[in-house]
Structure 1
Amino acid sequence: MKNGLIFLLLISVTQLFAQNDALRVKHFNVKKNIALDGYDPVSYFDNKPQEGSESIRTIYKGITYLFSSQNNLTKFKNNPDKYEPAYGGWCAYAMGESGEKVKVDPETFKIIDGKLYLYYNFWGNNTLESWNKNEAKLKQAGDRNWKNVSSK
C-alpha cells in the first residue's frame, strides 16, 4: 500500500512538472524550439552576445538553449535562473508598455540587476532607447504584466 502511494505521488509530481514546462514553452519566445534565436544566454553577461552551437545545448524546464562553449554550458547548468531572459525572451519595453509579446533583436539587450532583458530593434525603432527613458516604471509594469501573461 505504501509503495503504491509513493508511486502515485511520483506520477502526480512528474505530471505537474510536465504541465509547468509546457506552460513555459507556450509563453517563451522560441523559434524551432530554441530560445534567444540560438544565442548563448551566458555570453550576454560578458557583454558579447554570441550565437550558440547546435552541438552544445541543454534543455531547462522545457526550453532549449544553445551555447558557444562548454564552459558557458557549465555556468548555465550551475545557475540557470540567472541566465534565463526576463519575460521569456520577449521585448521588455513592450511587456512593460502593454503586456504584449513582441519579437526582439537578440543583440539589443541590457542587464539589469543581474537579469537579461531584450528589446525590439527593427525598422529604425530601438525600444531600448524608449525603455531607458522610463525604466523603473516600465520594469515594474513589465514584471506585473509578465506574471499575468505567463500564467494563462
Structure 2
Amino acid sequence: MSPHTVVTWAAVGLTCSFVMAGQVRAGEFYEKHGVAIDGYDPVAYFEDHKAVKGNDTLAYSYKGSIFWFASPSHRDRFTTTPERFAPQFGGFCAYGIAEGTKAKSDGDVWEIVDGKLYLNYDRGIQTKWTRGKDVFIREAEAQWPSVQSSTFVHQ
C-alpha cells in the first residue's frame, strides 16, 4: 500500500469518527453527559410545575436516550405514556428549531403550551419565543422534519 493510500484511508477514518461523534451528540433527544434534557425530569414540568433534576438511580431508556426522574411515580408515568411527557423537538431549543437549527436547551427555561413541553436555549431566547410562540411553534413543526436529522448542535 502506498503512503498516499494510507493517508487517504486515515483521513476517511478520521472523517467517519467525527461524523459518528456528531451523531451521538445530536440524537433523537438533546443530551448532555449522555442523559436526555440534561437530566431534568420531564414529568416534573407537568406534575410539579417546575424544573426538577432527576436521579440517575431512577432512569428509563426511551428512543435510545436515558431519562432521569425525581421519583418512582414520575418514572412510572413516563414509561406508560412517554409521548405525553417527552419534550417537543427532542428537547432542543424550540426557537432554534423554528429558525432551522438544532440548539442546546436549558432545562430551567421551559413552557408547557397546549399540553406540550417546549424548552429554550436561555431566558433571552425564551423572551423572543414567548412573544411569538404560536408562530414559532408552527414554524418549528414545519422545520423539524428537515432539522431532526442534523447531527450538529449549536452550543
TM over 0.5: yes
Matched residues in 2 for 1:72 and 1:26: separation? 23
1:144 Cα offset (Å): 1.1
The offset of 1:150, in angstroms, is 1.7
Q: 1:144 aligns with which of 142, 145, 154?
A: 142
Checking the alignment, whether the CA contact within 8 Å between 1:119 and 1:126 is kept in structure 2 is: no
Shift of 1:68: 0.4
Partner of residue 132, structure 1: 130
Deviation at 1:27, TM superposition (A): 4.0
- Identity, % of aligned pairs? 34
Matched with 2:34 is: 33
State the Cα RMSD in Å.
1.8
AA aligned to 2:59 is: R
- TM-score after normalising by structure 2: 0.75
Pairs aligned (count): 126
Query: Structure 2: which 5+ runs fail to align?
Result: 1-22, 151-155
In structure 1, the gaps of 5 or more residues are 1-21
Tell me what 2:20 maps to. none
User: What is residue 76 of structure 2 aligned with on the other side?
Assistant: 74
The equivalent of 1:113 in structure 2 is 114
With over 3 angstroms needed to count, the CA separation of the structure-2 counterparts of 1:27 and 1:70, relative to structure 1, is closer
Q: CA–CA distance in 2 between the matches of 1:141 and 1:56?
A: 35
Query: Structure 1 75/27 Cα, relative in aligned 2: closer, same or farther at 3 Å?
Result: closer
SS in structure 2 of the partner of residue 102 of structure 1: coil
Residue 132 of structure 1 aligns to a residue whose secondary structure is helix
Q: Find the counterpart in structure 2 of residue 4 from structure 1.
A: none
Supply the AA of the counterpart residue of 2:132. Answer: N
Counterpart contact for 1:40–1:50, Cα < 8 Å = yes
Q: Is the 8 A contact 1:34 1:65 kept in 2?
A: yes
The structure with higher relative contact order (CA 8 Å, sep 6+) is 2
- Structure 1's consecutive aligned runs of 4 or more residues displaced over 3 angstroms after TM superposition are none
Verify the 8 A CA contact 1:91 1:117 in the aligned structure 2.
Answer: yes
Matched residue, 1:7: none
**In 1, distance between residues paired with 2:79 and 2:41?**
13
What is the one-letter code of the residue matched to 2:78? F
Q: 1:59 aligns with which of 34, 44, 61?
A: 61
